[in-house]
Homo-oligomer: A and B are copies of this chain.
Amino acid sequence: MKSTGLLVDCGAPPTGDSHTDCHKVIMPVRDALDVISGKWKLPIIIAVSRGHNRFRDIERSIPKITSKVLSKELKDLETHKLIRRTVYNTQPVQVEYTLTPYAATLESVIVALQQWGLQHRKKILGK
Contact = CB atoms under 8 A, between A and B. Distances in A.
Interface of A: 1-8, 10-14, 18-19, 21-23, 25-33, 35, 37-39, 42-43, 45-47, 49-53, 60-64, 96, 98-121, 123-125
Nearest to A26: B43
Given A1-B53, A49-B7, A62-B26, A112 B114 contact: no
Contact of A32 (B3, B30, B64, B114): B114
Contacts of A112: 108-109, 111-113
B33 A110 contact: no
B39 A107 contact: no
A3 B116 contact: no
Nearest to A110: B8
A63 B23 CA distance: 9
